[in-house]
Amino acid sequence: MNAHIPSRKFGLAVAQIGGIDLADSRASVVRRLLDMLREAHGRGAGFVVFPELALTTFFPRYWMPLEDVEARYFEKKMPNADVQPLFDEARRLGVGFYLGYAELTPEGKRYNTSILVDKSANIVGKYRKIHLPGHDDHKAGAPFQHLEKKYFDVGEDTWKVWNMDGIRTGMCLCNDRRWPETWRVMGLQSAELIVLGYNTPAHNIHWPEPVHLRMQSHLLSMQSGAYQNCVWAAAAGKTGFEDGFHLIGGSVIVSPAGEIVAQAATEEDEVITATIDLAMGENFRKNIFDFARHRRPEHYRLIVDRVGAGEAI
């Protein structure tokens, strides 16, 4: 590491959640989150990443009337009575966190949402998922559905970067991690840390795909995104079996070198931690990926002018 870039070390944790069944209450899930928040604090972490849709089962696998989905799975307020204990304990411990949940706005819009909460338990950032996967029709022959396009609206705002307790932090959700544009938009805002949650089915309903390849694409997305954008990256999964449906694990912390420095070993509630040095990303930004010196956006127009693949130019 270059001596002229001072170290900026920080304790980071990822809290992976084992399966949440349909019958599990929000209060019971929050108790599990509290246990992991306390464990992370005890291991020296100042920030904890929780998964996407962390308060409920992954309900987009089920075909249901919209009014039933809204009543059962969406949050009209954050924090609400069920989640307030997590905010209270985070404030007491002085630990920030990222949390994913289903949001219902006063205008009736439905979003797959995540928030950044600082160590004083203030919500400093909100993101609404842009890359919604799956379908909006009923796949009668499929073993399960993937109905994010039915149950959620596309987020209107692009990916942003916030000052979260002195760290330039961006966030995204699940499928976003597979798209290089997600990472680059935040990289161009000088992000130092990108955090995300995910719920990734172990089985592909579109074609046969071995589980190890599902894991490989997840890790590849995390490692390449971190490396190519000079950021630390942390991803928290919901994993294991939810009412018989399998989700992959593989929650990770990845360095700006693309190296996995911590990875979950189970498909249960599990906390992983790492002491990260934010100066490491600065070395990459000043050398290998000096965007201002080396990028040539005049040659990238096709990326924004064309949505789908087309003819050669």
Asked if the peptide bond before residue 79 counts as cis, ω within 30 degrees of 0, the response is yes
> Hunting for tokens 């949440």 — which residue is that?
20
Is the Cβ–Cβ distance between 153 and 110 less than 8 Å? yes
- Note the Cα 235 to chain centre separation in Å: 6
* Known catalytic residue at 172: no
Tell me the CA distances in angstroms from 264 to 13, 156, 173, 250, one per residue in order.
Answer: 11, 33, 18, 6
Mean of the pLDDT values across residues 42-61? 99
Mean pLDDT computed over every residue of the chain:
97
Q: Which of 52, 103, 148, 282 is catalytic?
A: 52
| 52 carries an active-site annotation | yes
The answer to whether 174 is a known catalytic residue is yes
The arithmetic mean of pLDDT across residues 47-69, rounded, is 98
For 136-190, what is each residue's pLDDT tens digit? 999 999 999 999 999 999 999 999 999 999 999 999 999 999 999 999 999 999 9
Kindly calculate the radius of gyration of the chain based on its CA atoms and give it in whole angstroms: 19
Nearest Cα to Cα of residue 242 among 62, 49, 30, 15: 62
* Chain segment 254-286, per-residue pLDDT in tens: 999 999 999 999 999 999 999 999 999 999 999
Of the residues 89, 129, 238, 270, only one is catalytic, namely: 129
Catalytic residue among 103, 148, 172, 174: 174
- 23 is written with which tokens? 């019958």
Paired sense of beta strands 47-49 and 96-104, if any:
parallel
* Phi, psi for residue 30 in degrees, rounded to 5: -60, -35
Domains and CATH numbers, the chain: 11-305 (3.60.110.10)
Candidates 226, 229, 228; CA nearest to 253 is 226
Its pTM stands at 0.97
Distance between CA 219 and CA 203 in Å, rounded?
A: 16
